[in-house]
Structure 1
């Protein structure tokens, strides 16, 4: 397998390892009798774990290397995801989700650093395609979740079935992966913690809407459909496939579009679709319009995170691993309260208002899209 094929496999495995839980969040919520606000706090612990590890994840990646982190971290992420369904109490659930956040974020930094190195070595853009494959992995997990809920498969059994699959993918990565050599920037000997610079701060503000829309859709869209419309459980769960299909398609074609039109034009144009989608979801009179809205949000936000990562890796002021880590750290810091805030809005003003909260960060993305221009 080529290096491009291997890094695409890594992104797919990462999504499958961490993506199965999102279709089962309503079941986990009901099993522990949690309110939307308490659920939001529980999900915030994943951000806490990721935030803590992202302070030093760049240095960990440079010290241990990409391959060991991925081979160990991906199966661990899948196992922790499955254990959420077996948590007997809310505090135990908090602890398991905290561990998920750590493993998710460390492997996330490692695979994005490797994707940037593959781009540098090949001279071709692959970052959007990598994230497109990641979305395809999330879609695979979501479709399987739809089927599992439709057939009333217990959440624990459903999620535990992913563990041997991810283990097999990790074994394939262990055998086949030959990591790319470090770039010139990676060879910098300047040690440091991944604290953000002014440029990384602006890049994060640009990409923030993508993270908020993705996290909000993953965590609350099924609950939104369940509580807003009268439809079978499997129909409620279609929000994730609608979001992920359009996100996957957007990412799979984005590298070619970016090479032709440039990142600024592509980001600005697609963010307009995200804005239209957020308006549709917030005002949806029925299931069909809501699903169309989630699809537009997926398409519109598809390129934001990959373009933000690529821009950060090429800043040049520090090693690429530290720049990528800094951007992911700051994204996690800004979004730390997002699940809890969205849960609070849902509980006090309704779920429509919670999804209307997507609109301001999307407008910020439109304003800051020029930050992607090469410098």
Structure 2
């Protein structure tokens, strides 16, 4: 894209490139959301105990952590649009694979591929969102993540119903077809970014960045995704076992968190364009700290649900800002900086919850939720690094 076209593009709020990358986020979230209701049947079919299912879910995480840095190197060589499209194409049939495998080893391979391709696509579509931000000269990352949340919500909320009424196989075929349609709709309009020759060389050399910046931003992403993982995996249990909530009410913990998170992500870009990335991030972190403390010190379920809702508002835009900052680091290919930050961030959601379970046996979940606010204080100390997210606008 030539530089003279950039100011013109900045006038439009919705461009084909923005729709294209938003569809990729929607599709990726939808695939993960559709997988969640399939897990009980998957475990039953392969005869997995709780601990072996735990290992399977860890294999999903390992797939992501292995493939994310590899995707970063390929983005530096070939550009994010090509890597996004190829990883999306390869991801599409993996849910069918997970539905048809019959043994533990083939199940492990399928789940490793599923996690790996979700992760690779994740890095690539985030890098593409950074490229679109640069071309439009406005923030779009938060709304992209909102579409990802929306995809997850659609996939998970319809999955159980469809499996009950159509069967596991038919649900997998339908999900695959919908995912394929989303890719088809986005194929021509995904923003094409050819890598700079220096970046391509960097991708070929395949080494980890020496600059401390991506690692520090990675710590920010990690420290706000650990609380997110804790809410996802332990929120309902905390409501039920420590606050005596009913099954229905305990489900509202994550619902309140995801709802406020999705709403704030759609609003996040406007807020960031108005106040700048650093100011937005600091406000978000303070709200998130308050939310986590409220959860931990809640005397009853309604106070806890208010805490989960506040935590969702706070955490909503921290990760998109971290990803924008990682993709705009000076003198570094977007894919390389992003692969470090996404790998570190997502390991928080994948690895931390099991550690939380171990600690919770000794301390209870209330003190864990309150204690996790300390991680967010570290994010607050590092918040000036979010200034790199505003590089997209200059």
Q: TM-score, normalised by structure 1?
A: 0.83
Q: Is this contact kept in 2: 1:128–1:303, CA < 8 A?
A: yes
| 1:365 and 2:376 aligned | no
Select the residue among 262, 278, 295 that pairs with 1:281.
295
Q: Is this contact kept in 1: 2:289–2:376, CA < 8 A?
A: yes
Q: How does 1:128-139 map onto structure 2 within 5 Å?
A: 128-139=142-153
Shift, 1:267, TM fit: 0.8
Q: How does 1:1-375 map onto structure 2 within 5 Å?
A: 2-22=16-36, 34-35=49-50, 40-63=54-77, 65-74=79-88, 76-77=90-91, 79-81=93-95, 94-144=108-158, 161-174=174-187, 176-182=188-194, 184=196, 187=199, 189-190=201-202, 191-193=204-206, 195-196=208-209, 197-225=211-239, 227-228=241-242, 229-232=244-247, 234-332=248-346, 337-374=351-388
Q: Is this contact kept in 2: 1:117–1:181, CA < 8 A?
A: yes
1:245-280 Cα offsets, whole Å, 9 max, x none, are 211222222222222222111111111221122223
**Bigger Rg over Cα:** 2
Distance in 1 separating the partners of 2:240 and 2:201: 53
Shift, 1:140, TM fit: 2.5
Structure 2 gaps of 5+ residues are 1-14
Q: How many residues align?
A: 371
Structure-2 change in CA distance of 1:210 and 1:100 (3 Å) = farther
Structure-2 change in CA distance of 1:335 and 1:230 (3 Å) = closer
Alpha carbon RMSD of aligned pairs, Å?
A: 3.4
Shift, 1:77, TM fit: 3.9
Structure-2 change in CA distance of 1:284 and 1:98 (3 Å) = farther
The DSSP-based 3-state class of the residue aligned with 1:189 is helix
The DSSP-based 3-state class of the residue aligned with 1:181 is coil
Distance in 2 separating the partners of 1:284 and 1:152: 39
Distance in 2 separating the partners of 1:148 and 1:279: 38
Shift, 1:105, TM fit: 1.0
Structure 1 gaps of 5+ residues are none
Q: Is this contact kept in 2: 1:18–1:78, CA < 8 A?
A: no
Structure-2 change in CA distance of 1:92 and 1:74 (3 Å) = same
Q: Is this contact kept in 1: 2:78–2:195, CA < 8 A?
A: no
Distance in 2 separating the partners of 1:54 and 1:156: 29
Shift, 1:24, TM fit: 6.0
Structure-2 change in CA distance of 1:83 and 1:180 (3 Å) = closer
Structure-2 change in CA distance of 1:347 and 1:88 (3 Å) = farther
Q: Is this contact kept in 2: 1:44–1:339, CA < 8 A?
A: no
Q: Is this contact kept in 2: 1:23–1:222, CA < 8 A?
A: no
Shift, 1:15, TM fit: 0.8
Structure-2 change in CA distance of 1:346 and 1:117 (3 Å) = same
Distance in 2 separating the partners of 1:185 and 1:142: 42
Structure-2 change in CA distance of 1:278 and 1:334 (3 Å) = closer
1:271-293 Cα offsets, whole Å, 9 max, x none, are 12211222233344444333322
Q: TM-score, normalised by structure 2?
A: 0.80
Match for residue 9 of structure 2? Answer: none
Structure-2 change in CA distance of 1:17 and 1:186 (3 Å) = farther
Q: Is this contact kept in 1: 2:221–2:344, CA < 8 A?
A: no
Structure-2 change in CA distance of 1:23 and 1:276 (3 Å) = farther
Distance in 2 separating the partners of 1:38 and 1:350: 24
